[in-house]
Structure 1
Amino acid sequence: MMETTAGVAAEPLTLGQDEHDSLQAHFHAGISADEIEQVFHLKRAQPTLQAFTALFHGGADGVLIRLLVLRELAADTSTTAFSRADINQKLAYLLPESLETVLTRLRTHGLLAWDAQAAVYRVTPMARNVLSSLDTLLSMGQADDDAEMGFLLSQVAGAQAVGGVTVDQLKHLLGRLVELTEEFRDAIASGSEFRLRTSQAKWHMACDWVEKGSEILRAITSDERADSATHKAAQAIGRAQSALLNMQGMFSRALNQIERQRVHLGQSGLSTTDVKRWLLAHEDLSSLAQGAIDRPVMPLFVTPAEMIDVAETELLAERSASMGPSGLPQGEDAPLTINDGPAIQAELDDWLARLADFANLGNFPSFSEHGPKTVPIQDSLLPASFAVASYRASMLPLLGDAAEASLQGATAQLARLPITFTPTDEMVQLNDPHVFAMSIATLSLDLESGPADDK
């Protein structure tokens, strides 16, 4: 039969297991499952385990419906017997088919008892025990217990009150204390202020539970009826609690070290911790950039220092390529004349002649009244390759340089030319095969300085 609970299909619970899924099939050959101590304890608790299996087997929606029906019936203390009409009235919000399926499942596995003679249902003691343990766990889960020790300690306290505390219950509490100690040590070793403060808050809560559990441990250790294993587990818990309480100094030293290394932003009083806390308060950090950036930043490398660096790199690369080793030449007579002038010097002389001879070139303003007095910089630098144009542009800042003009040489002649170089921060796109764009600048004739010195 297929069970349908709240519109969700679930496989039926079977008490038996086939040969391939038997318990012994999970162990190595030669090892009997009955030889394992924990298997013996679990088999002895098989009725209780079957009750939990009946409730939690299947999908999550089916589990919620079963718990809902069982909790509704167990919560009614006005009567101990429920007819089917009473159940239909109490759970009228459920579909009749779903309710019938849940009642059949609970009755089959001993959570509800059916009295055929009186035609009523009764909640079994096993069902009340299961619901009680679940209610304790659920109530502790809803409480503010970041240390997650409340449920474990409540189990130990309840068992001690009725004289039935077990070693396993104490070991569960001990295991949680050890886990918390390791977690706090990792937080201290991390050096993260936010992680330290979060762990410190959890440490304070754990200490509160330690204080509540100290009296229980003293009662266990002073109980003469407790066996040696119980005494040893209680003493181990006491040592774990002491180690946990001694971590207060470690937290204080770590936080003081972070406080000494805190970085403040100028005189604003804000620290990097304040900035991080403010950033963590925003779920979407990318939204902070909306409206802050209008368009991508486009750097313009047009300062003289960058221009000179680019020009030198290009010219030196060209000279290295032209002067690279090509093997030993064949023997021949030496030529009568050899031009030892480097390419850079020849280019500088040509550039100086172009700037000095305005009238012959026709591309620059002359001293006459009819010629233009200003020309764009691209008309003076082009046409040329990128390397030559960059080299020429690197020489432009020398125009009008008084310190350079007082010296001797080609660059000094360039500095003494009556031309003014006026650069701007904007760029213009060119229709040139070698240069894509260039800064907008002009060369202006300085008439007050007189004609260029052609010497």
Structure 2
Amino acid sequence: MSEVRLEELLAPGVVADDVPELDTLLRARPLLAAFSTLFHGSEAEVLARLLVLREIGRDAQTTHWTPERLRQRFTYLDPVKLETVLRRLRGNGLLDIGDDNRYTLSDLGRNAVAAVDMLVGFSAGDDLELGFLTAQLAGLQAVGSVTPEALGHLLGKLNDLAWHFEDAIASGSEFRIADARRRLSANTRWIEKGTEVLRTLLADPELPFDLARLAQPIGLAQSRLARIDAAFQRAVNKIEAQRVTLGGSGISSSDVAAWLRGRDARALAALARNALAAAPDLTLLAGGHELLDRAELALSEDARRMEADTALPPPEEAPRRDAPEQEDLRLLEHFSRRLARLAEPGQAPETLARAVAGGGFPAASYRLSLLALLADGGDSDTASPADGPIGDFMRLPVDIRFELATEPVNEDEIATMSAGLVGARGRLPAAEAVPVLDPDTLPRPA
């Protein structure tokens, strides 16, 4: 098969220079060629190349390898296949060979094997999901070369994890929720590490705008993942409330489901043998009342006609209400009359406790809330309604003063309440001045 050229993959009339996204990849052709050398061919060939390259790069004490030493190092490989691997690596710039016929690992080869080793190390557990991207971002941040692409990869992975976790919760499956919770727990340390990196980035006043634009949604996504554990717990509690216990055995439906999930297909087929029928076995289970109901329907012509009649009932006019419902404002009107008497000439101010008490705690709290409303805007004509009981109340010529202290009541379902006075406008006594402490008289530490 002939090699496919890049121009053949582009649309008619489009050249590579017209695609800005290809520029970075085209400039990295030597590196891409190195990875193509490593991963081109069958799985066995790829493993052999990676094995040789990693073992050469792992020995930090030896920088130059003679062909004889390489054959001694890889005695478990066929000599002819080993020579083919070395020639392939040397021909694509991953290995260098000097005039003394000794092999050395090139800079390109060392970078390639370091990148592969990093991925292989993270793939040993769940760290490959978020750990690799976070570690990469932390390394770039340490050397001051964070790129928007690195932040974009991390943001995409965080959004993907959040979607997976929310989908597991929406499924209602106990096993999917448990698996998602395990994944979240495995990635928690990387979320915390990413938070530290993002905090350091955002603390830089000279952070470029394109990095700050991506760093902020990453922080929001990390906070979203940090809160999702509570959602897992709520979902587990909901499932726990719906779990069914099989008799007095102590075994729940979840235990049975977990046990069945641990069986293979052969074991499940053996359990289902003689337990499932090709056609349902219809056994009539009916009591006397059910039989009478069905017999009445079968024997009564009127009952059959009523059941078959699907016509809509005749239209009826909706009941009309002559007078709309009105709010009961009797308590407000009575309280307005009481306050109006305080505004008459010669009437002394009353305490808050005396003005609002009566009728129990609900009525007293209602009156106190009315006084607070009057104290906030009672002297503004534009702030009160034009007419009605509420407008009359808002225009009462009274003043209210609330004090910081409280006074005991101990009656009418009230233990204590705020101290204060209610009286005619402009006739309340002046409030006592709050003493100002002299800083020189304050105690000082030894």
TM-score higher than 0.5: yes
Asked if 1:277 corresponds to 2:242, the answer is: no
Q: CA deviation at 1:289?
A: 6.1
Deviations 1:343-368 (CA, angstroms, capped at 9, x unpaired): xxxxxxxxxxxxxxxxxxxxxxxxxx
Q: CA deviation at 1:245?
A: 1.8
Aligned-partner SS, 2:129:
coil
Q: CA deviation at 1:249?
A: 3.0
Asked if 1:255 corresponds to 2:236, the answer is: yes
Asked if 1:127 corresponds to 2:114, the answer is: no
In 2, Cα distance between equivalents of 1:251 and 1:98? 53
TM-score (normalised: structure 2): 0.59
Aligned-partner SS, 1:148:
helix
Q: Which amino acid aligns with 1:129?
A: N
Residue of structure 1 in register with 2:425 after alignment: none
Asked if 1:205 corresponds to 2:186, the answer is: yes
Q: CA deviation at 1:263?
A: 1.7
Deviations 1:259-315 (CA, angstroms, capped at 9, x unpaired): 22222222222221111112122222233468x98x999x999xxx9xxxxxxxxxx
Q: Which amino acid aligns with 2:236?
A: L
Q: CA deviation at 1:103?
A: 1.0
User: Percentage identity across aligned positions?
Assistant: 42
Aligned-partner SS, 1:165:
coil
TM-score (normalised: structure 1): 0.58
Please tell me whether the aligned partners of residues 244 and 253 of structure 2 are also in contact (alpha carbons under 8 angstroms).
yes
Residue of structure 1 in register with 2:83 after alignment: 100
Residue of structure 2 in register with 1:369 after alignment: none
The correspondence for 1:69, drawn from 33, 52, 56, is: 52
In 1, Cα distance between equivalents of 2:278 and 2:147? 69
Aligned-partner SS, 1:187:
helix
The residue correspondences of 1:356-375 to structure 2 (distance < 5 A) are none
Residue of structure 2 in register with 1:164 after alignment: 145
Q: CA deviation at 1:238?
A: 0.5
In 2, Cα distance between equivalents of 1:144 and 1:187? 18
Greater alpha carbon shift after TM alignment, 75-84 vs 59-68: 75-84
How many aligned positions are there? 284
The correspondence for 1:191, drawn from 160, 172, 175, is: 172
Q: CA deviation at 1:174?
A: 0.7
Structure showing greater Rg = 1
In 2, Cα distance between equivalents of 1:187 and 1:214? 25
Residue of structure 1 in register with 2:25 after alignment: 42
Please tell me whether the aligned partners of residues 126 and 183 of structure 2 are also in contact (alpha carbons under 8 angstroms).
no
Please tell me whether the aligned partners of residues 244 and 252 of structure 2 are also in contact (alpha carbons under 8 angstroms).
yes
Gaps of 5+ in 2: 288-446
The correspondence for 2:97, drawn from 109, 114, 119, is: 114
Backbone CA RMSD of aligned residues: 3.0
Q: Which amino acid aligns with 2:101?
A: A
In the superposition, relative to structure 1, how do residues 262 and 109 fare at CA in structure 2: closer, same or farther (>3 Å)? same
Q: Which amino acid aligns with 1:112?
A: L
Q: Which amino acid aligns with 1:26?
A: L
Q: CA deviation at 1:254?
A: 1.8
Residue of structure 2 in register with 1:220 after alignment: 201
Q: Which amino acid aligns with 1:160?
A: Q
In 2, Cα distance between equivalents of 1:84 and 1:281? 52
In 1, Cα distance between equivalents of 2:91 and 2:205? 44
Q: CA deviation at 1:151?
A: 0.8
Q: Which amino acid aligns with 2:249?
A: S
In 1, Cα distance between equivalents of 2:92 and 2:173? 52
Q: CA deviation at 1:156?
A: 0.7
Residue of structure 2 in register with 1:231 after alignment: 212
